[in-house]
Amino acid sequence: MGAYFSDIFKGLWSLLVGMGITFREFWKPVVTVPYPYKTFTMPDRYRGHVELIENEEGKPNCIVCMACQRACPSDCIAIKGEKPEGSKKKVLTSYMLDFTKCSLCGSCVESCKFNALEFSKEYNLASTRKEDFYFDLLKRLEDRNS
Ligand code: SF4
Ligand code: SF4
């Protein structure tokens, strides 16, 4: 009989403790959002896949030095460029990123001395197709400006 009342008391006590925690937490500021209807702005230090940085004319800052491609330990980056007739400088014609292999190590961004590469704020990429994670960064930059 004693054990019976003891169990009831423990159950009630546990309920009261739980409700006390709920009551205390109820008044604290909300730290979550009802995703996907609302989303957070990613902090500056957040690393999404890399993205090209453009100049004032909307063209990539990239000078096709290939340093980022060489620095990538996972062989994610494939760059192409060409020298237009009469020009001494190369122009970027293709910048492909295979994000399926990227570890977001940052070596490519660190190796770029021309402020041409940064981490994006993309965080909710999802797909069942591997091909959806092969990014044409030059096209993405053009799409941003169109
Ligand atoms: S290191 Fe910078 S400038 Fe050189 S190819 Fe990569 S993005 Fe372009
Ligand atoms: S973050 Fe690292 S793994 Fe990803 S593309 Fe850059 S160098 Fe390669």
Task: Using the predicted structure, report yes or no on whether residue 1 has a pLDDT greater than 80.
Answer: no
Q: How many whole angstroms from its chain centre is CA 92? A: 24
Query: Could you tell me the distance, in angstroms and rounded to a whole number, from the CA of residue 36 to the centre of ligand 2?
Result: 28
Q: For the beta carbon of residue 66, count every other beta carbon within 10 angstroms.
A: 14
83-92, 103-112, 134-143: least confidently modelled range: 83-92
- Among protein residues, the one with the nearest Cα to ligand 2's atom 2 is 105
How many angstroms separate the CA atoms of 119 and 99, rounded? 12
Query: Could you tell me the distance, in angstroms and rounded to a whole number, from the CA of residue 105 to the centre of ligand 2?
Result: 5
* Closest atom of ligand 1 relative to the 111 alpha carbon: 1
| CB 52 less than 6 A from any atom of ligand 2 | no
pTM listed for this prediction: 0.81
Which residues pair with residue 119 across a beta bridge?
A: 50
- For 103, the 3-state DSSP assignment is coil
